[in-house]
Amino acid sequence: MRDHTPDFKMHELTAANKALIRLTVQQLLEKLAADGKLTADTLLEFWIEVPGIKRSRGSFRGGFLMPDSFVYISDYFQSDSAVIHLTPGEAYAGGEVSLEKVWDDLLDEFYYQVEIFTSPVSIGKGITLELWAGNRQRPEGEWIYAVDRKIELG
């Protein structure tokens, strides 16, 4: 069996990039909850464009676009379209868990995924992160409802 694990060195995101990602993710999820669109199938999904690196697949505008990756929001927050404010999900039930702890857990997972996808280059080379939060139609995969934002990491 062939090992398909890429050979890379992890680069931790800078504090400024983490703050930018945190603010962006919070805005997206708060908008989603306020619109009453937070369900069990809601995803936080992202694409990363890394300039200056060529790959046989995924070429995009002089770089390559990493495959989409996602986090189930219901792993962290309640998935009830009637809830308009984010509250800790079932995984945090039974204990006194602050909303800040839930955010930290979600963002730790999210930062880790972004760090994996951005590892081929130094983080200061104009990497673009595009995020969506919403619900996809299955099996077609088109967004039924989504809010999105594109940011450039510095």
Per-residue pLDDT tens digits for 35-79 = 888 888 888 888 877 776 655 444 445 444 455 578 888 889 887
pTM here?
0.80
Residue 55's pLDDT is: 52
- In the predicted model, what is the mean pLDDT of residues 102-118? 88
Range of the domain at 145: 15-152
Q: Is 2 contained in some domain?
A: no
Q: Is 8 contained in some domain?
A: no
Q: Is 124 contained in some domain?
A: yes
Residue 110 dihedral angles phi and psi, to the nearest 5°? -65, -45
Residue 19's pLDDT is: 94
- How many domains in the chain? 1
Gap between the Cα atoms of 24 and 148, Å rounded: 9
Gap between the Cα atoms of 113 and 101, Å rounded: 19
Q: Is 75 contained in some domain?
A: yes
> 22: helix, coil or strand?
helix
Residue 64's pLDDT is: 47
Q: Is 1 contained in some domain?
A: no
* 52-56, 119-123, 130-134, 139-143, range with the lowest pLDDT: 52-56
Gap between the Cα atoms of 138 and 140, Å rounded: 5
Confidence of residue 101 (pLDDT cuts 50, 70, 90): very high
The radius of gyration of the chain from alpha carbons, rounded to an integer in Å, stands at 16
